[in-house]
Structure 1
Amino acid sequence: MDKKLTLSLDKTIIESAKFYAKSNNISLSKLIESYLMTLTKQKDKSIEITPLVESLSGVISLDKDFDVKDAYSDYLIDKYK
């Protein structure tokens, strides 16, 4: 069931949104509805872990102070010497 909603927005935002909606062949109402639906959609927190990923879990152990970015930087420096 559709219900009417009144919003107060900046005039330039409204004009830009209308232009965007028209150029994408969608009504402004549908555009806003789609945005709000995406914004409020519940995310599925039950991600299935495949047996392969499960078997790889815990294969590598790293120090707590290991910095991935530093390690990658060192790798690139060695690679391009």
Structure 2
Amino acid sequence: MKNKLTLRLDDSLIKRAKKHAKQKGTSVSQMVADYFALIEIEDTSPSKKLPPITSSLTGILKNTDIQEQDYKSYLEDKHLK
């Protein structure tokens, strides 16, 4: 069953999407459908699942204020001094 979906986009983006669709010999609707189908495939692919050890470690650093710069500073201190 197909239903209608309304998207609100900038005029310039709509023009580019229509131009791209015409070049590819498809419609903007089909491009959007293909995109969402691709996302669904990516979300359910086995490669998205983490290995057991990695999975067991996720979330153990909750409530920490560690920033990327802190890690970079740690590495500099460890390897450059």
How far off is 1:23 after superposition?
0.6
Q: Which amino acid aligns with 2:6?
A: T
- Contiguous gaps of at least 5 residues in structure 2: 48-81
Aligned-pair identity (%): 35
Partner of 1:7: 7
- Contiguous gaps of at least 5 residues in structure 1: 47-81
Q: 2:53 aligned with 1:45, yes or no?
A: no
How far off is 1:37 after superposition?
1.2
Larger radius of gyration: 1
Q: 1: CA distance between counterparts of 2:31 and 2:11?
A: 17
Q: 2: CA distance between counterparts of 1:37 and 1:43?
A: 11
Partner of 2:18: 18
Q: 2: CA distance between counterparts of 1:10 and 1:40?
A: 26
Query: What TM-score comes out, normalization by structure 1 length?
Result: 0.51
Higher helix share: 2
How far off is 1:40 after superposition?
2.7
